[in-house]
Structure 1
Amino acid sequence: MILNTELEYKGDLFPSSIIEYKKDVDVLHFTTANNVKLQLTVLRDSVLRFRYSTVGKFNKDFSYAIDKNASRGYNHLEISDDEEKYIVTTAKLICHIYKVDLRISILDAIDKTIICQDELGFHWEESYELGGDIVKMSKVAQNGESYYGLGDKPEHINLKGRRFENWATDSYAYGKNTDPIYKAIPFYTGLHNGKSYGIFFDNSFRTYFDFCQERRNVTSFWAAGGEMNYYFFYGPKMEDVVVSYTDLTGTPELPPLWALGYHQCKWSYYPESKVKEITKKFRDLKIPCDAIYLDIDYMEGFRCFTWSKEYFPEPKRMVKELADDGFKTVVIIDPGIKIDMEYDVFREGLEKDYFCKRADGPYMKGKVWPGECYFPDFTRPKVREWWAGLFKELIEDIGVKGVWNDMNEPAVMDVPGKSFPPDVRHDYDGNPCSHQKAHNIYGMQMARATYHGLKRFNYPKRPFVITRSAYSGTQRYTSTWMGDNVATWEHLQIANIQAQRLALSGFSFAGSDIGGFAEQPNGELYARWIQLGVFHPFCRTHSSGDHGDQEPWAFDDEITDIVRKFIEIRYELLPYLYTTFYQYYHDNVPMLKSLVLFDQEDTQTHYRTDEFICGNQILVCPINEPNSKGRRMYIPRGEWYNYWTKEVITGGKETWVDADLDTMPLFVKAGAIIPKFPVQQYVGEKEITQLTLDVYYKDGKEDSELYEDANDGYDYTKGRYSLKKFNFAGNGDKMIIRIHKRGLFNTSYDTFKINIHGLPFKVKSIKVDNEYVDLKEVKFKNNSLVVTKLFTNLQLKAD
């Protein structure tokens, strides 16, 4: 039943009673006596869209966030009404729309329990200063409800009791609880009574979310302009909610495998001799590394798309020599274009009128690294096309493999607010608007244009782009990092939470500046941060460079050895990480899982921040305090193997885990089959002639996957991939692995080396594809054996 709440609140306006209803296939239209309109769209059985207008009509329906390939369609749709309400029923949901005031209640269609209900519901405030409405929505907070998401907020993983602002902001050396920072991702997940739902407020204006801070039993969200336009997703599993949101806003294509390797960056590596010194040291010390980054000093006077003749006189030769040694070159490109008539990028942008303008006509002028700049309007398709074309020389001619978009909030120096003034005008793909609406999507559209440029000129290879600023849906084009963090233990903890939160918000391909961007870590902090960073989808050391060196060898031999050890673990796990990325790309499943996402039924997980699952089967918990020889951590329910000792721990409780500086708490789910490469100094250095499968025995069943393709290019979209599904079963005196394979890709290796951990019996017989084999034939020793990659059924027995 809807709550009876007084319809008077701070002078806000509210819908009155419904006077008209009509249905147009899957879109339901409701009109009130005071001309408020609600458009309810049934996208799927578990996904509804609510769109409100206060003026009797809707503007053109346009959003940068929504993926054109998002799933549509439902199994059941029925509409009825009674004296009190309209009732919309799908296979998963029942939605009540109350006739007296347009408020909403959403129930589970199976057990009829409340999932989400309006408190005041939709209301608005007329703002003469803003020139439009402040649109608002308030919901009842259910008993024991928790909230998650909102992108890169450096806050506790559970948002309850807090308030947030979404406004992309250059936030150098931000701290715990700094808000807002670089990204605006207005999507959150609610969880109560074992059931989860999500709300995506698709409004690119400055938005706010209050999770029971102002009023204990109310959660609300509002925007300083635009429409009240939100999507509702139902699980009841939290993972299904995140998958549905990610399906709606999209996932990236698969990256080149090298993009999942280790990357090294600093502000700034120059001149060429310094770059070569760094890359040589990686190879001399045998520390794997796939990418070297060039920050703004590679340019001529910080002019984008130029090279410093002094520092990099022959960039094409240098980039090729780096490539010959296994290093892909990634360069930074910012949005600010220096005002300089001798500079052809500026001159062309000026001639074609591609730069952002103020409301009364002049170009938007702002100071960034090159000095005074104009800024392209990336919301114009022609400008994005022009920008994409500017990458021809960098990518096609010189051979750069990746581009890093920075300062794209957009950041402007020496002005209040550190960005464009609100009167700057944008095309917004044919929907002209002010910067108030375009600000949060500016960085996204820059990254989009960059991505299309790299895709065009790097073809037939895959592009690699990284962005600092983002809005919902940016994950379709690019990876991201968390911006200018600080070399402190607190920031190590923040980086862990931010990566989990971004994964919960549909943006998995993310990582932090390992070691901290500002200030100087000591060796212990750097080693502990590497240990965390190798389990994030994007893995890069980056520092500001003004405080000394921050390479893996910058401390002492002990730290160098620890860093090498963990980067080698990442390279061993590349097939596991790549498979995890495939599951993200293909099934919209987040690559990292907070414990609450992994097991929402265990209420102990609802406030856990440090532990997370990498992929589906590796449990990670960083050490985030100095001088630690271990830590207490929560082990999720089930059985888990200590990665180092192979000891089995039964979860569902907190436990002490030893972890000297050269280890970290790391566990593998019982029953898992983890694929591993031999260590390489860079992706493609070695031809893989044998793939290792680490099998962790359990009494019971567990499924694992292995996805493989050519590691670059687009043949995988034509069926040339290999997806192996491993079904594991153990029952005390017998162990069976079955493989189901699909796809046309033929891997370079011929055999699997299978290492079995925790086997509770002595093996007396082995069957491969129902044929008994000699133990010597499969080189069976110490519970390890070698079998052909073509096997489909492996059976080990005690008799």
Structure 2
Amino acid sequence: FKTMVIIDPGIKIDREYSVFNEAFEKGYFCRRADGPYVKGKVWPGDCYFPDFTNPEVREWWAGLFSGLIEEVGIAGVWNDMNEPALFEVPNKTFPDDVRMDYDGNPCSHRKGHNIYGMQMTRATYEGVKRSLKGKRPLIITRSGYNGLQRFTSVWTGDNLASWEHLVIAHYQTQRLNISGISFCGSDIGGFIGQPSGELYVRWIQMAIFHPFMRTHSSGDHGDQEPWSFGEKYMDYVRKFINIRYKILPYIYTCFYQYHKNGTPMIRPTEFVHDEDATRLINRKVECYLGDHLLYAPIMQPGSQGRIVHLPSGKWYDYYTHAQYEGDSEYYIEADLNKIPFFIKAGAIFPEFPLMQYTGERAIETLTLKIFLEEGQHKSYLYSDDHDGYSYKDGQYRYAELVMHFSNGILTIEQLYDTAYSTQYQNFKLELIGMDSLKKELDVRIDDQAPIVMNIDALIIPENFRKLDIML
């Protein structure tokens, strides 16, 4: 397990607190227009607030994390209440006349409000990164602005344990993604109130596709851990958390594409199919995760399924491998044991072996699910050390996997231009989409002489360049 701490901007007014004394003596706190420091009541009581729009204050703040990271062993930091939020005032935040440095361009809180939280998170990110000494920081923020994705993940705020807020979370994550902020998610089950077991399961099902997945609540309304709703619901929750861990290499590849190209991880269908956007603009249920996965959450109580519009192309049901022609609507049965989601035909879809947490064991074999489709199709797979910055020195592989399938011959080319050796040694291929397949298949690896392989044991070296399988 790893521990994150919540750190808010309000610093308790306490002359025995060294952080307060240092900030006070250096004049780092925000002031009212007529001179005094702005004072507000938050969780510690009466507090002053650093001016994070001042570069000198940000540098000071960044230097405060070494003890937490290097000595206590904290893994990440969650910045909360950083709008900034205040108790016991009508507008719940600073008065408009509070002054801010604004990177040397002094202004009032009316101008600086929207960037205050992001600049706090920016300073937190820099400090945690510095203290981790070569590892990647994980930061969460409640408040932010355009550009926050450079520093932090974000969640959708203090939501309610209701079906309405499940729907809202589905819309919010899509909109954040196409606004440039992909590393996002919601409080699973709702922050305020307690969900039913059914609502909690449906929320988990949706959240396995969110880049940021977290179950969280205020704790004031009863327990909300996955085991809090009884054995029946825990079994459902376990199933979908297991799926999340299996599809992590696909999600990780989506993260790389987002990092490298700015491509949203979650994509509304009208975003992907802009040629058909006028017709798809009101279809808010179905959306993509990455290039090849489409999901459609169940968002009404008691539902045993839903109508799903599949975009153009051919699609495979993830569970049953049933095939569907796109540009059509289907009623998909989905009791609590299922969320409708589909893989696009022609995709090469990577999966990890089942684990209970990342890094539980070394991964020797990565599964590639081959969703067969006639013609030529491209997929991608990104691999690196999963932490640190060695990828900046070429220690990664971003492989283009090109499938050619025609006349019973499947050819897969793996194109990459770095010398990185992946953590896994082999691929296990799983062929999906033909009614019947021979038990023994002729396989040619890198134009060598064909070898006979059992269909249930198609184990291929991870560094292959070309693969021919006679089906």
- TM-score normalised over the length of structure 1: 0.58
Give the Cα–Cα distance (whole angstroms) in 2 for the partners of residues 691 and 605 of structure 1. Answer: 35
Pick aligned residue for 1:397 from 54, 71, 88? 71
Partner of 2:225: 551
Partner-residue secondary structure (3-state), 2:275: coil
What per-residue deviation string (whole Å, max 9, x for no partner) do you get for residues 334-390 of structure 1? 001111111111111101110000111000111111111100000111100111111
Of Structure 1 and Structure 2, which has the larger fraction of its residues in strand? 1
What per-residue deviation string (whole Å, max 9, x for no partner) do you get for residues 126-160 of structure 1? xxxxxxxxxxxxxxxxxxxxxxxxxxxxxxxxxxx
Partner of 1:123: none
Work out which of the two has the higher radius of gyration on C-alpha atoms and give 1 or 2: 1
Query: How many residue pairs get matched?
Result: 468
Partner of 1:785: 458
Matched, 1:519 2:193: yes
Give the Cα–Cα distance (whole angstroms) in 2 for the partners of residues 483 and 732 of structure 1. Answer: 53
Pick aligned residue for 1:564 from 225, 229, 238? 238
Matched, 1:797 2:470: yes
Partner of 2:323: 648
What amino acid sits opposite 1:721 in the alignment?
Y
What amino acid sits opposite 1:767 in the alignment?
R
Mark the runs of 5 or more structure 2 residues left unpaired by the alignment.
none
Matched, 1:774 2:451: yes
What per-residue deviation string (whole Å, max 9, x for no partner) do you get for residues 707-742 of structure 1? 111110110111111111100121242221111122
- TM-score normalised over the length of structure 2: 0.97
Matched, 1:625 2:300: yes
Q: Which moved more, 1:742-751 or 1:446-455?
A: 742-751
Matched, 1:406 2:406: no
Partner of 1:717: 392
> Are the counterparts in 2 of residues 377 and 426 from structure 1 also a CA contact under 8 Å?
yes
Partner of 2:411: 736
Partner-residue secondary structure (3-state), 2:285: coil
> Are the counterparts in 2 of residues 440 and 471 from structure 1 also a CA contact under 8 Å?
yes
Distance 1:471 1:516, change over 3 A: same
Give the Cα–Cα distance (whole angstroms) in 1 for the partners of residues 455 and 321 of structure 2. Answer: 20
Pick aligned residue for 2:35 from 336, 361, 367? 361
**What's the offset of the Cα at 1:779?**
3.4
Give the Cα–Cα distance (whole angstroms) in 1 for the partners of residues 243 and 101 of structure 2. Answer: 47
**What's the offset of the Cα at 1:691?**
0.7
Give the Cα–Cα distance (whole angstroms) in 2 for the partners of residues 752 and 574 of structure 1. Answer: 16
What amino acid sits opposite 1:617 in the alignment?
H
Give the Cα–Cα distance (whole angstroms) in 2 for the partners of residues 796 and 680 of structure 1. Answer: 30
Give the Cα–Cα distance (whole angstroms) in 2 for the partners of residues 386 and 727 of structure 1. Answer: 50
What amino acid sits opposite 1:579 in the alignment?
T
Q: How does 1:240-319 map onto structure 2 within 5 Å?
A: none
Partner-residue secondary structure (3-state), 2:91: helix
Partner of 1:687: 362
**What's the offset of the Cα at 1:761?**
6.3
Partner of 1:323: none
Partner of 1:754: 429
> Are the counterparts in 1 of residues 385 and 423 from structure 2 also a CA contact under 8 Å?
no
Give the Cα–Cα distance (whole angstroms) in 1 for the partners of residues 136 and 293 of structure 2. Answer: 28
What per-residue deviation string (whole Å, max 9, x for no partner) do you get for residues 75-100 of structure 1? xxxxxxxxxxxxxxxxxxxxxxxxxx
Give the Cα–Cα distance (whole angstroms) in 2 for the partners of residues 594 and 571 of structure 1. Answer: 23
Partner of 1:607: 282
What amino acid sits opposite 1:494 in the alignment?
I
Partner-residue secondary structure (3-state), 1:570: helix
Give the Cα–Cα distance (whole angstroms) in 2 for the partners of residues 732 and 563 of structure 1. Answer: 42
What per-residue deviation string (whole Å, max 9, x for no partner) do you get for residues 280-320 of structure 1? xxxxxxxxxxxxxxxxxxxxxxxxxxxxxxxxxxxxxxxxx
> Are the counterparts in 2 of residues 765 and 772 from structure 1 also a CA contact under 8 Å?
no
What amino acid sits opposite 2:232 in the alignment?
E
What amino acid sits opposite 1:526 in the alignment?
Y
Q: How does 1:342-491 map onto structure 2 within 5 Å?
A: 342-491=16-165
Partner-residue secondary structure (3-state), 1:645: coil
Partner of 1:586: 260
Give the Cα–Cα distance (whole angstroms) in 2 for the partners of residues 759 and 770 of structure 1. Answer: 25
Matched, 1:573 2:247: yes
Partner-residue secondary structure (3-state), 1:725: strand
Mark the runs of 5 or more structure 1 residues left unpaired by the alignment.
1-326
Distance 1:567 1:536, change over 3 A: same
**What's the offset of the Cα at 1:594?**
0.6
What per-residue deviation string (whole Å, max 9, x for no partner) do you get for residues 419-475 of structure 1? 101110011111111111100000000000000010000111110101011110111
Partner of 1:704: 379
Partner-residue secondary structure (3-state), 1:472: coil
Indicate the RMSD between aligned Cα atoms, in angstroms. 1.2
Partner-residue secondary structure (3-state), 2:274: coil
> Are the counterparts in 2 of residues 732 and 761 from structure 1 also a CA contact under 8 Å?
no
> Are the counterparts in 2 of residues 732 and 760 from structure 1 also a CA contact under 8 Å?
no
What amino acid sits opposite 1:682 in the alignment?
Y
What per-residue deviation string (whole Å, max 9, x for no partner) do you get for residues 743-766 of structure 1? 232122221100010036645532
**What's the offset of the Cα at 1:780?**
2.6
Q: Which moved more, 1:788-797 or 1:534-543?
A: 788-797
What per-residue deviation string (whole Å, max 9, x for no partner) do you get for residues 602-635 of structure 1? 2331111111101111101110011111101211
Matched, 1:661 2:336: yes
Give the Cα–Cα distance (whole angstroms) in 2 for the partners of residues 330 and 743 of structure 1. Answer: 35
Give the Cα–Cα distance (whole angstroms) in 1 for the partners of residues 274 and 38 of structure 2. Answer: 48
Partner-residue secondary structure (3-state), 1:517: coil
Give the Cα–Cα distance (whole angstroms) in 2 for the partners of residues 651 and 615 of structure 1. Answer: 17
**What's the offset of the Cα at 1:402?**
0.7
**What's the offset of the Cα at 1:652?**
0.8
Matched, 1:634 2:312: no
Give the Cα–Cα distance (whole angstroms) in 2 for the partners of residues 570 and 600 of structure 1. Answer: 29
Partner-residue secondary structure (3-state), 1:565: helix
Partner-residue secondary structure (3-state), 1:601: helix
Of Structure 1 and Structure 2, which has the larger fraction of its residues in helix? 2
What per-residue deviation string (whole Å, max 9, x for no partner) do you get for residues 149-184 of structure 1? xxxxxxxxxxxxxxxxxxxxxxxxxxxxxxxxxxxx
What amino acid sits opposite 2:399 in the alignment?
K
What per-residue deviation string (whole Å, max 9, x for no partner) do you get for residues 258-292 of structure 1? xxxxxxxxxxxxxxxxxxxxxxxxxxxxxxxxxxx
Partner-residue secondary structure (3-state), 1:646: coil
What amino acid sits opposite 1:691 in the alignment?
L
Partner-residue secondary structure (3-state), 2:271: helix
Give the Cα–Cα distance (whole angstroms) in 2 for the partners of residues 497 and 788 of structure 1. Answer: 41
Give the Cα–Cα distance (whole angstroms) in 2 for the partners of residues 759 and 583 of structure 1. Answer: 31
Q: Identical aligned pairs, as a percentage?
A: 54
> Are the counterparts in 2 of residues 733 and 760 from structure 1 also a CA contact under 8 Å?
no
> Are the counterparts in 1 of residues 79 and 121 from structure 2 also a CA contact under 8 Å?
yes
> Are the counterparts in 2 of residues 633 and 655 from structure 1 also a CA contact under 8 Å?
yes
Give the Cα–Cα distance (whole angstroms) in 2 for the partners of residues 733 and 762 of structure 1. Answer: 10
Matched, 1:336 2:13: no
> Are the counterparts in 2 of residues 780 and 786 from structure 1 also a CA contact under 8 Å?
no
What amino acid sits opposite 2:259 in the alignment?
Y
> Are the counterparts in 2 of residues 600 and 606 from structure 1 also a CA contact under 8 Å?
no
Partner of 1:7: none
Give the Cα–Cα distance (whole angstroms) in 2 for the partners of residues 605 and 751 of structure 1. Answer: 40
Give the Cα–Cα distance (whole angstroms) in 2 for the partners of residues 768 and 760 of structure 1. Answer: 25
Matched, 1:678 2:361: no
Pick aligned residue for 1:535 from 209, 220, 234? 209
